[in-house]
Chains A and B, each alone.
Chain A
Amino acid sequence: MKPKRRIAITGLGMVTPVGNDARTTWANLRAGKSGAGAIRYFDASGFPVRIGAEVKNFELPAALANSKHTKFASRSHRFALAAAEEALSDAGIRPQSDNAHRWGFSVGAGMMAVSYDELKITREFCANSDGELQPDGFIDPRYPADPVSFCRTQTNAGLGLLTQQFGIRGYATAVHTACASGGQALGTALKVMRRGLADYVLAGGFDSMLNPIGLSSFCLLGALSSDNDTPEKASRPFDATRNGFVLGEGAGFLVLEDWHAAQKRGAKIYCELAGDGNSLSSYRITDSPPDGDGPIQAIQQALADAGATSEEVDYVNAHGTSTQMNDRSECAALRAVLGGNVERVAVSSTKSCMGHLIAAAGAVEAGVCALAIRDGVAPVSANHENPDPDCNVGIVRGESKPMKIRVALSNSLGFGGSNSSLVFRNPSEVKV
């Protein structure tokens, strides 16, 4: 087999609960600063969970604020537009009319398109007093039909908006595998580039479920921490007292580029996106396999795909949601794959600060790995105070840890059992 095409990460953009750009996000993650707090967007005072990790004081960057496309954009689309704009600016390269067809797009898009306010209109015009749907309401002349809002709620609306805004005309796709979406979108982007279908890919994820429906749907599952009085401590992955995740929101985008082309144009290269691994747990819809079966195969495949071994892995950005079951399952998988290296390898969950960005999580966390490699810092896994014997891995406790990172691994494990692992390699370890 001929050697795989080598892919560089040359641009990053983030909108997260700890910062509206990559630089601020990274500084706060390094400092272990939490983005969680009482929910402010809507009155959550009657909900069993009243905390979340919201994006704060967000405004579209000037380059986008006047775009005619933004009227179609939902809250999470706006995060995506801003993060993608930042990533392209950071990379210093953009689609041009002569190469737009060689630019691809791959995104992990959130599942929740209809906002609570839109649902309120449906209730007002199309439901009886018991909340039963009355379809004729939609054709009543009084119903305030809004084609713009309808377009916004189409499943690939984000793809349509971003490819138009940035002039991308090549391979384009949107994926959704719940919490693994962002990781899978990057994995797809890597494969598309290796297949020679694109020379550049704008890849990432966006999501916001921090609305009354999203929040209640996670409350119903019992997946969220209800530590309403201590929001900053609520997300504590791998801690023995962990009791669920904190719902976040945001977007992360990366620019992927052919390694040699990036070098030739003198681009700054954060790292290599070196490998992708993908598996299904096929266990239960609600549970993670306690022995790590499923995630194990994804991690092994990603390392093999990258031509890397567990000896070279220095840092793992864990999925680490802070639920009992996920963290136990993931640690079992890490122990199985890392073997004798497990004490040495630094593991952290940046969800301890950012909360869980759902479909955006894997993309933002890929960006975190790129920054960790560049700066030689494993970010802290915040709020880890009480060791759990079931999570016996080398967790970065207390403060971030300066260290050279040769190879980093990022896991995204989704509801429904899709597991995605990505491998990143330090440019100094790339032998070309």
Chain B
Amino acid sequence: MGSPTNIAITGVGAVCGAGLSVDEIWNAIVNGKSAIAPIEQWDASRWPVNISAEVRNVENRTLVEDRKLHKMISRTDMFGLFAANQAVQQSGLLTYHETLDTAAKPKFNDRTGVFAGSGGGNYRSNYDYLPAMSAGDGDLKKFGGEFSSSVNPMWLLKNLPNNVLCHVGIRYGFKGTNACVTNQCVGGVLAIAEAAAALRNDEADRASATGHDTPFEPETVSGYHQLGLLSRDTLRPFDRDRSGTVFGEGAASVVLEKIEDAKARGAKILGEFLGCGCVTEGAGILDLRPDGDGVSRAIELALTDAGISAADVGLIVAHGNGTRASDASEALGIRRVFGANVPPVTAFKWAVGHLIAASGALDLVLALRALREKIAPGIATLKVIDPEVSPLPVSAKAQTPRSDIALVICRGFGGMNVALIVQTGV
């Protein structure tokens, strides 16, 4: 492999509309079950778009045990902390930490990095100020005297984009190198990629990396709908009749370790992080290049970083967000790299919705599972493959990965394209 330090994945966690664990989500997907359903968070019965993949029927207490925290963080942070905890618990790092002597413990914490990809700003947090604005009747002078009686004094801290970073650190005592990536859809995958880079460059020995987001709220649904990005019925990636994407919400998290450390402590290795490529198309906030230039460049960079060739890739987890422009250009970008030799391609957003900042992190966690199970799950909503994207090997039926290496593609606003490569057979 190309990298001097191999990076093991020793813990994974996820939460989204399709389930509260990787197992639940995986089972829903292989059973062809989509979490996309009518919106419940508000009465959307009159809305032109009224579907989403919400996380339903979950108590805050289930997500975050510490009740004191509930007023200090927002829903997206709760998902992030919930997924991060699954991954940290699965990794066994906390148990290992307990076995260390007093002198080794602080070093362990200083050498444990924390990375997050966060949805960053949202709209609903600002509505906390609406009562004060109403009380002032639009008059700023009155507003200046009103807000302190109706807004939570901790408002700013509650809405910090870097809360997951902060609270993962506080909860487990991790104090190493860190970053909170607020790069819209690619935030989660870049958090994982930067964590892996920190390990390769010996800035840390292990790291928690989490993508989390709750993009789904009235103002974003309204805004994306205005831009023509949302589907009214369902999400059909690569289908001839695809009509847009559908929001989901949730989080996904991994624990990364230097592979020799993981082996030395007897950790179960779920997979290996091989490489990443990241580029912008430089085409503006929304625009995509129709030729998929960013997709193919990101894939090429990831292959080089991983030290493998295209023929080694056994499975592609596509971004497949179901919009006309993104799926078409993504297919072109994939075909430019793989030619006539494209491995099985699948995508998961039809089942889990589009988790924006958490989307690629969730795809990565599911890609590891797909490799382990040797199944490329079918895209259940796919009826007729768009002639524009064929002959891309996508299917409504399950396919078999042709090797134990997966390529995960994640795209976002700002012309962002990120490709990650992982392997399981280690």
On B, residues with C-beta under 8 Å from A are: 42-44, 46-48, 72, 109-110, 114, 118-121, 123-124, 126-127, 129-135, 138, 140-145, 147-148, 150-157, 159-163, 165-167, 169-170, 173-184, 187, 190, 194, 197, 201, 203, 218-219, 221-223, 226-227, 278-286, 294, 297, 301, 357, 412-416
Contact A114–B123 (Cβ < 8 Å): yes
Question: Chain B residue with minimal CB distance to A168?
Answer: B282
What CA separation (Å) do A278 and B175 show in the bound complex?
9
Chain B residues near A218: list those with CB within 8 A. Answer: 156
Answer yes or no: A31 CB below 8 A from chain B CBs: no
**A159-B133 CB under 8 A given contacts A169-B281, A178-B160, A216-B151:** no
Contact B140–A43 (Cβ < 8 Å): yes
Contact A154–B184 (Cβ < 8 Å): yes
Question: Chain B residue with minimal CB distance to A72?
Answer: B285
Shortest CB–CB separation between residue A89 and chain B, in angstroms?
Answer: 19
Question: Chain A residue with minimal CB distance to B152?
Answer: A220
Contact B180–A176 (Cβ < 8 Å): yes
Chain A residues near B130: list those with CB within 8 A. Answer: 119, 122-123, 127, 131-133
Chain A residues near B162: list those with CB within 8 A. Answer: 176-178, 414-416, 418
Q: For residues 383 through 430 of chain A, which have their beta carbon under 8 Å from a beta carbon of chain B?
A: 414-418
Contact A169–B141 (Cβ < 8 Å): no
What CA separation (Å) do A151 and B227 show in the bound complex?
9
Q: For residues 201 through 251 of chain A, which have their beta carbon under 8 Å from a beta carbon of chain B?
A: 212-213, 216-221
Contact B286–A216 (Cβ < 8 Å): no
Shortest CB–CB separation between residue B62 and chain A, in angstroms?
Answer: 22
Answer yes or no: A341 CB below 8 A from chain B CBs: no
What CA separation (Å) do A195 and B197 show in the bound complex?
8
Residues 98-134 of A, flagged 1 when their CB comes within 8 A of B and 0 if not, give 0011000100010111100001101100110111110
What CA separation (Å) do A126 and B413 show in the bound complex?
27
What CA separation (Å) do A34 and B348 show in the bound complex?
54
Chain A residues near B182: list those with CB within 8 A. Answer: 109, 111, 155-156, 174-176
Contact A161–B284 (Cβ < 8 Å): yes
Contact B174–A159 (Cβ < 8 Å): no
Contact A184–B134 (Cβ < 8 Å): no
Chain B residues near A159: list those with CB within 8 A. Answer: 183, 280, 414, 416
Residues 134-149 of A, flagged 1 when their CB comes within 8 A of B and 0 if not, give 0110110001010100
**A112-B148 CB under 8 A given contacts A139-B222, A151-B286, A163-B282:** no
Chain B residues near A109: list those with CB within 8 A. Answer: 120, 182
Contact B143–A416 (Cβ < 8 Å): no
Shortest CB–CB separation between residue B5 and chain A, in angstroms?
Answer: 11
Chain B residues near A111: list those with CB within 8 A. Answer: 120-121, 159-161, 182
What CA separation (Å) do A174 and B285 show in the bound complex?
13
**A164-B283 CB under 8 A given contacts A156-B412, A176-B120:** yes
Contact B126–A119 (Cβ < 8 Å): yes
**A130-B131 CB under 8 A given contacts A138-B222, A139-B222:** yes
**A418-B178 CB under 8 A given contacts A45-B144, A132-B131, A153-B121:** yes
Residues 176-189 of A, flagged 1 when their CB comes within 8 A of B and 0 if not, give 11100000100010
